[in-house]
């Protein structure tokens, strides 16, 4: 079965650079979520989109922005990168109409800021 | 403020025995609970969920129990297999009025090791 696809798998950037992470949800899933997981930490919710509109916002820094496109894929844009942004970034998708349907996660993008 | 707590960072059991992973929550508004399994270098994989209107849900070797009054849930794996060795995350959410989108709040995870 098709899963959530994230690219790239690994990304190395320097401080103050920008990064763009991409997420392709499971076909027919209409909701996308972004999570950040630091070393030894639980995944922290950043932001979510439903039908291309932002639906919920968590602890996302102002330096980050995200959007969902007409084909439902999503991109997380990160600017003025800081060392503390080094983490694993997960994207998840779900089908909203399936109330209480579980989120399905991609394998993540590991971002290293040097 | 950790709203979902997994107080055991690790658990070790013998193959064939029962594994019991525990989770506590503080937010009484949570009404949907999930367990995810995570291998290194992979994303969390959904295992099993339970709605607050139930106190038990079973799927093969996996059973989740919910005690709402105690704000506690547990995942039982019987029998445990070496391939079950992974980090297990408990997650909870609230379905907002009108059934609009929800986000998951995760615990910090428990590393389960099943020894052959």
Who has greater pLDDT, A40 or B4? B4
Q: pLDDT band for A75, please (50, 70, 90 cuts).
A: very high
| Interchain pair A99, B105: CB under 8 A | no
Tell whether B65 lies on the interface with A, counting CB pairs under 8 A.
no
pLDDT computed for residue A7 by the predictor: 97
pLDDT at B48 over 80: yes
Which pLDDT value is given to residue A93? 93
State residue B97's pLDDT score: 55
Q: How far apart, in whole angstroms, are the C-alpha atoms of residue B75 and residue B4?
A: 14
Residue B7's alpha-carbon distances to A15, A80, B2, B51, B64, in angstroms, are: 35, 36, 11, 22, 17
Substitution target in A31, A37, A66, A103 with the highest count of B β-carbons within 10 Å is A103
What integer pLDDT is reported at residue A97 of this predicted model?
55
Q: Please state the rounded mean pLDDT for residues A27-39.
A: 91
Complete edge-to-edge strand list for the sheet that includes strand B4-5: B4-5, B19-25, B72-77, B62-67, B56-59
Q: What tokens were used for B39?
A: 């291998």
Does position A98 have pLDDT exceeding 70, yes or no? no
CB contact under 8 A, B104 and A103: yes
Q: What is the mean pLDDT of residues A9-23?
A: 97
pLDDT given for residue A9 in this prediction? 96
CA distances A114 to A10, A17, A36, A108, B103, Å, are 13, 10, 18, 19, 31
pLDDT tens digits, B60-94: 999 999 999 999 999 999 999 999 999 999 999 88
Euclidean distance between CA atoms B35 and B106, whole angstroms: 9
Among B residues 18-57, those touching chain A with beta carbons less than 8 Å apart: 32, 34, 36, 41-46, 49, 51
* Residue A58 with chain B: CB contacts under 8 Å: 103
Q: Is the pLDDT of residue A101 over 80?
A: no
The whole-number average pLDDT for the span B84-113 is 84
Identify any residues that bridge with A44 across adjacent strands, giving them in sequence order: A36
Predicted pLDDT at A2: 77
With CB atoms and an 8 Å threshold, state whether B105 touches A45.
yes
Integer CA distances (angstroms), B15 to A60, A105, B36, B78, in order: 41, 28, 20, 10
d(CA A94, CA B102): 10
């Amino acid at each position: 079965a098709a899963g959530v696809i994230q690219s790239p798998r690994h990304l190395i950037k320097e401080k103050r650079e920008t990064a763009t992470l991409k997420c392709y949800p499971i076909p027919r899933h209409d909701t996308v979520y972004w999570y950040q997981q630091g070393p030894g930490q639980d995944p922290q919710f950043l932001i979510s989109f439903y039908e291309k509109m932002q639906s919920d916002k968590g602890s996302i820094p102002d330096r980050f922005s995200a959007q969902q496109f007409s084909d439902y894929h999503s991109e997380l844009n990160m600017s003025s990168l800081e060392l503390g942004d080094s983490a694993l970034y997960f994207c998840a998708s779900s089908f909203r109409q399936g109330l209480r349907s579980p989120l399905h996660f991609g394998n993540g993008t590991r971002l290293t800021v040097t | 403020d950790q709203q979902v707590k997994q107080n055991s960072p690790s658990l070790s059991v013998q193959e064939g025995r029962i594994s019991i992973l525990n989770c506590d929550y503080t937010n009484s508004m949570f009404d949907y609970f999930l367990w995810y399994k995570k291998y290194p270098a992979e994303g969390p994989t959904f295992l099993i969920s339970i709605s607050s209107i139930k106190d038990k849900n079973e799927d093969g070797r996996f059973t989740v129990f919910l005690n709402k009054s105690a704000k506690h849930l547990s995942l039982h794996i019987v029998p445990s297999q070496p391939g079950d060795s992974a980090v297990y995350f408990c997650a909870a959410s609230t379905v907002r009025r009108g059934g609009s989108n929800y986000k998951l709040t995760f615990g910090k995870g428990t590393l389960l090791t099943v020894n052959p």
